[in-house]
Amino acid sequence: MAIPTIADVRKALIARPGKPFVLKDLSTEDKALFPNKEEAETSLKKDAACINELKDKLYAEGKRALLVVLQGMDTAGKSGTIKSVFKDTTPLGMEVKAFKAPSSEELARDYLWRVHNAVPRRGHVGIFDRSHYEDVLVAKVRSLAPAADIEQRYDQINAFEKHLTENGYVIVKCMLNIGHEEQGVRLKERLQEEHKLWKFNPGDLDDRALWPQFMDAYETAINRCSTKHAPWHIIPADSRTRRNAMIARLVRGALEEMDLKWKDPGHDPGSYEI
């Protein structure tokens, strides 16, 4: 047993751009990458430390930015992922944006207005806890916009993400794929544990009742918006430990590919007397 390479993790989890994607073909409890839970923990530990160092280099360079997009049903582990994958990362240079129901100010402009506004500064790592994909997920399932408008959004989102990647942004998109049964278990936990109860929202049950419709909307969004410049990765999310380990591999991989170097300040440190 060994920790799977970043290339292997990517290959296993990516929704290949241009290839038909079927969500129900994927197991939410797939353990193929990390059969052994302890190995997932070891991998996460190493990657989390590495991510911290790479993020410092990104900050020092100050020219590019990493944007991690996390999507998933309630309890899929978006917050848990942030806490784990970035557990060694100081908040300096980190921007986490949790997208809630749009405010009246936000509704008064196009749906990408608040999203574009929230992109991280150059040198930073931005995390979207939910994102513009809500505008083709919940907006579609609950008919919050005309169907013809939603149909146009996939191409608009692709153009927006392409624009960002052409302007110094690297985008890592992860769909946290939790099973219906496991969600039931986690929602019950929320009702039973004091430190989780605050997260429970009766509205979560309304979304749970629309599970097949949400899965259809996810499948369409991934089919339409897994692109070469910003592909989707589908993370089996029934196991928290493995989910964290897989996403950490992807985030580390994205940062490593940026080929970050400590910035050369352009002067000779030996020339100073202090």
List of residues contacting a second copy (CB under 8 A): 108-113, 116-117, 119-123, 149, 152, 156, 159-160, 162-164, 166-169
Q: Which of 176, 194, 149, 196 is nearest to 237 (CA)?
A: 176
Return the number of the residue (155 or 206) whose C-beta is nearest a second copy. Answer: 155
Burial of 43 (0-12, 13-18, 19+ CB in 10 A): buried
Return phi, psi of residue 94, to 5°.
Answer: -110, 140
Q: How far is the CB of 258 from a second copy (least distance, A)?
A: 16
Q: How far is the CB of 146 from a second copy (least distance, A)?
A: 11
Return the number of the residue (125 or 234) whose C-beta is nearest a second copy. Answer: 125
Q: How far is the CB of 132 from a second copy (least distance, A)?
A: 11
Q: How far is the CB of 149 from a second copy (least distance, A)?
A: 8
Q: How far is the CB of 125 from a second copy (least distance, A)?
A: 14
Return the number of the residue (160 or 211) whose C-beta is nearest a second copy. Answer: 160
C-beta separation of 130 from 78 below 8 A: yes
Return the number of the residue (163 or 180) whose C-beta is nearest a second copy. Answer: 163
Distance CA 53, CA 57 (A): 7
Task: Give the DSSP H or E segment for 123.
Answer: none
Return the number of the residue (77 or 126) whose C-beta is nearest a second copy. Answer: 126
Residue 78, CA distances (Å) to 85, 99, 128, 136, 224 in order = 11, 12, 9, 18, 22
